[in-house]
Amino acid sequence: MSAQGDCEFLVKRARELVSEDPWAAKAWLITARTLYPSDFNIQYEMYIIERNAERTSSAGRLLYDIFISFPEQPVVWREITVITAALRSDSQDKQTQFLRGLFETLPGSVQCQMLLKATEQCFNTLEKAEMLLLLLKRFPESVVQHGVSLGESLLEAENVENLDTPVNCFRKLFVCDVLPLIMNNLDMRLPASLLYKYMHKAAEFYISYVTRGPSADGQIQGTSLTGSQEVGGLKSPGVGRGGQRFVIDGLSEKSSVVCEPWERLLDIVAVVGARCDWQGDKGSRNYTELLQRVRELFRYLPSLEAEPMSRCCGQIVICSALVLFRSAYLYMSAVQPSLFQGHSALDSGPWILLEDLSSVYSEVELERSAGKHAHKKRKLTDGREKTMSSDDEEGLGKGRGRHILVNKSDFPGWAETLESFRTARESWDLLHSHDALETEFNKLCTAWKTESWLWFRIFLTDMIIYQGQYRKALSSLAQLAQLASFQPVQTQISAAASNLENHRALIQQASCHYALGEYRLACEKLLEVVGNLVPPTQEPIKSTEEAGRARTKPRKGNDLRLLPCTSKAILPFCLQLMLACFKLRAFTDGRDDLALGHVVVLLQHDWPQGETLFLKAVDKICQQGCFQYENFFNYVTNIDMLEEFAYLRTTEGGRVQLELLPNQGMLIKNPSPTLGVELNTLLLPGAQKADRHHTVTRGITKGVKEDFRLAMERQVSRCGENLLTVLHRFCINEKVILIQSLP
């Protein structure tokens, strides 16, 4: 018998026995091993028995022996590949856990060797990196040797692959896994430039990670559920439910998760700060402190010489930029959570930053605005758009200390959100308070392509609006629309979502135009929005209490308001804004019955908030002695107003000539589909009658009197109609007239 034959015989016997009597099988192999201690197959068979029985420690001991004695056996290498794959895997199945446990039983030196050799066998950069990471994590002393080269190879791989986002597998491994090892290893002495480079890479990654858009999963879910023609920015139930899954391409779901990104980023900044001897750096505990410190540092900036100044700039720019992006993100995630992954659309819909119009009903405001308007109008008639720049400068002054109003009960965490908005603005201001800082910051923005960050653009727009630079805001909004159309994520977003996005921009544009005194443009934008809104079936109840509050608090008139982007909130705003636009025109010295009529219609909303203004309008009508507004009976259903107008016609009321019946010609030509058949037929006979008498006289003929009475009676019966539906119809039907009646 040859040795080979002996060994085969022994292993064969063991194999035969292993299922029915594993102890006997092992006894055979122990014997075999004492006979042929250097035979691989005997030891491998021993290992396989223990491994299949998942006996961790004994399998580990045998694997150790095999690894030491037979390092060149291909079977051993296959086994090591399987084990190291298990180490990298997230899987929790029994076999994987066993293999991980098996690896743990090996002595450190063997683990180290195994991982190194397994790394050598990897040709895929990602796999290789993961393998090396296993090594570095276990054996910190190996970080000095392999840390930076691993990091650089990951960054290079990212470059080579030409990936379009920093949130990719290479960067993730670099930032979250490799970098902490390098940074926290005190034996590593890295030049400041490298530390800065790494910190920037980390910051770009973390910011992009946090602000990443909803993933494909979420979108699919979203579209399928919002297919039911949800318009008007209503919260569609089920859009992107909380548990959105996110996977970085090339990584598993588990390793795609980045915990507490802002905190991790802060950790890295703290290490870099310490390593680069930052001024006044005592290890930043939070972002507020970070900003506080560079603000102090900024005061010394002008007194510094070139070299320390550039160092100082570096510190100020990165710190304030991080605070800026973080605060802007926090603000945006509250104001428009749907932009980001993981924020359920159910949290809260988008909120729009707009001019506060709660003072629209007040007379005080009227005087001020009228004056301003007169000034504006004069310039407008000159046809010089350029003059608007003066308004922007004016706005700049206004940009300080403006209030942002918000309905606190609808917006939990409003205080924090507004605080974030403020901090972001302050960081921005700091970054633009010195040329050197601005240059440095712009470099950063270019490198990170912040231009393409939709969310940041939206924030910037809000900031510009806050600063009162409406002209700039308008161009930014236009840019935004362009940007949104380029965003792959945005294009995929459901009809409802993009509609919503559209509304947001339009309403803000309207608000800006209004603030610039461009009422016609404001109304154009507004009416575009209103057309898409669905009037709430029930009138809001709390509007009165809100109104009550607003009345007690006189406004300076340059406040802003955060409004939820819902039909319920937007429609009233649109009505107020239109009122604000027409109010000025209606109460000018000249006579503009159409504008006055619109105002009367619009004043119905939020009644009796507008009572004072209505009485002023009535005064004006009385002064004029006559008033012509043919849409009156279509849209005025307020009983108080109807009474007042009925009274005006009486002797006591001053026998005012009221021409309020609809222009029959127009009605016949355009039977309004929204009015419904009933109302059209109701109105038409009356109209025909009026037509008959039209040529006779415009005065108080018997027939007209009768028509008016009938119309009034009919109108009284309409009092119960949903006012918002009526006003919504008003906006849609009279769109052309409304726009035309503004300069």
Partner 1 sequence: MSDIRHSLLRRDPLSAAKEVLYHMDISLGSALQSSGAGAPVLDKSTIDLVEEFIFHVPKDRSVPPKRMSCVQELQLLEIMCSYFQEQSKDAVRQVIFSALFSLQGNKADESRMAMLGKLVSMAIAVCRVPILECAATWLQRSHSAWCVRLARVLVDDYCTLVPSSFSTLQNICSASPRFCCQLITAVTALYDMSSEDMTPPPSLLEMVVGWVTEDPRLLLLTLINMPLGTSLPLGGLDVTPLMGLLRWCVKAPLAYQRGRKLSLTNGHGEQEKGVGCEELYSKLHLSVLQVFLMLQVHLTEQNLLGRLAVLQLESVAVLMEEVSRLVEELNPLHAASHIQLALDRLAQALQVAMATGALLCTREDLRTLCSRLPHNNLLQLVMSGPVQSTHGAPYQSNFYPHIHPPRSSPLPPHNTHPALSTHNTHPALSPHAAHPALSPHRPLTPHATHSSLSPHAFHPAAMTFPYRPIR
- Chain residues binding partner 1 by CB under 8 A are 1-4, 6, 9, 13, 21, 23-24, 26-31, 33-39, 43, 46, 50, 55-58, 60-62, 64-65, 68-69, 104-109, 111, 137-139
Are 471 and 393 spatial neighbours (Cβ–Cβ below 8 Å)?
Answer: no
> CB-wise, 43 or 119, nearer to partner 1?
43
> CB-wise, 38 or 124, nearer to partner 1?
38
> CB-wise, 110 or 247, nearer to partner 1?
110
> CB-wise, 67 or 633, nearer to partner 1?
67
> CB-wise, 138 or 729, nearer to partner 1?
138
Q: Provide the minimum distance between the beta carbon of 106 and partner 1 in the complex, in angstroms, as a whole number.
A: 7
Query: What is the spatial distance between Cα 600 and Cα 611, in angstroms, rounded to a whole number?
Result: 10
- What is the rounded (10 degree) CA torsion for 90, 339, 229, 734? 180
Q: Terminal CA-to-CA distance of the chain, rounded, Å?
A: 112
> CB-wise, 9 or 647, nearer to partner 1?
9
Q: Provide the minimum distance between the beta carbon of 252 and partner 1 in the complex, in angstroms, as a whole number.
A: 22
Residues 6 or more apart in contact with residue 586 via CB below 8 angstroms: 592, 595, 596, 598, 599, 617, 620
Query: What is the spatial distance between Cα 709 and Cα 703, in angstroms, rounded to a whole number?
Result: 10
Q: Provide the minimum distance between the beta carbon of 299 and partner 1 in the complex, in angstroms, as a whole number.
A: 46
Query: What is the spatial distance between Cα 743 and Cα 740, in angstroms, rounded to a whole number?
Result: 7
> CB-wise, 47 or 455, nearer to partner 1?
47
Q: Provide the minimum distance between the beta carbon of 244 and partner 1 in the complex, in angstroms, as a whole number.
A: 33
> CB-wise, 24 or 483, nearer to partner 1?
24
Query: What is the spatial distance between Cα 146 and Cα 141, in angstroms, rounded to a whole number?
Result: 9
Radius of gyration of the chain (CA): 37
Q: Provide the minimum distance between the beta carbon of 511 and partner 1 in the complex, in angstroms, as a whole number.
A: 58
Residues 6 or more apart in contact with residue 288 via CB below 8 angstroms: 323, 423
Q: Provide the minimum distance between the beta carbon of 22 and partner 1 in the complex, in angstroms, as a whole number.
A: 9
Q: Provide the minimum distance between the beta carbon of 51 and partner 1 in the complex, in angstroms, as a whole number.
A: 13
Query: What is the spatial distance between Cα 152 and Cα 144, in angstroms, rounded to a whole number?
Result: 14
404 three-class SS = strand
State the angle between helix axes of 454-467 and 495-515 in degrees (0 to 180), rounded to the nearest 10: 20
> CB-wise, 14 or 157, nearer to partner 1?
14
Q: Provide the minimum distance between the beta carbon of 436 and partner 1 in the complex, in angstroms, as a whole number.
A: 45
Query: What is the spatial distance between Cα 411 and Cα 130, in angstroms, rounded to a whole number?
Result: 44
Omega of the bond leading into 166 within 30 degrees of 0 (cis): no
Are 675 and 700 spatial neighbours (Cβ–Cβ below 8 Å)?
Answer: no
Q: Provide the minimum distance between the beta carbon of 110 and partner 1 in the complex, in angstroms, as a whole number.
A: 8
> CB-wise, 2 or 19, nearer to partner 1?
2
Which tokens go with 167?
A: 């949130």
Burial (Cβ within 10 Å: 0-12, 13-18, ≥19) of residue 85 = middle
Q: Provide the minimum distance between the beta carbon of 1 and partner 1 in the complex, in angstroms, as a whole number.
A: 7
> CB-wise, 21 or 277, nearer to partner 1?
21
Q: What are phi and psi of 109, to 5 degrees?
A: -60, -40
The H or E element containing residue 564 is strand 560-564
- What is the rounded (10 degree) CA torsion for 550, 554, 557, 561? -30
State the angle between helix axes of 108-120 and 74-88 in degrees (0 to 180), rounded to the nearest 10: 100
Q: Provide the minimum distance between the beta carbon of 67 and partner 1 in the complex, in angstroms, as a whole number.
A: 11
Other C-beta atoms closer than 10 Å to the C-beta of 197 total: 13
Helices then strands, counting H and E runs in the chain, come out as 36, 5
Q: Provide the minimum distance between the beta carbon of 8 and partner 1 in the complex, in angstroms, as a whole number.
A: 12
Please name the residue that has the structure tokens 């040529």: 695
CA atoms within 13 A on the CB side of 191: 3
Nearest to 553 by CA among 362, 719, 741: 362
Which tokens go with 579?
A: 């009122």
> CB-wise, 3 or 478, nearer to partner 1?
3
Burial (Cβ within 10 Å: 0-12, 13-18, ≥19) of residue 69 = middle
> CB-wise, 108 or 243, nearer to partner 1?
108
Q: Provide the minimum distance between the beta carbon of 48 and partner 1 in the complex, in angstroms, as a whole number.
A: 12
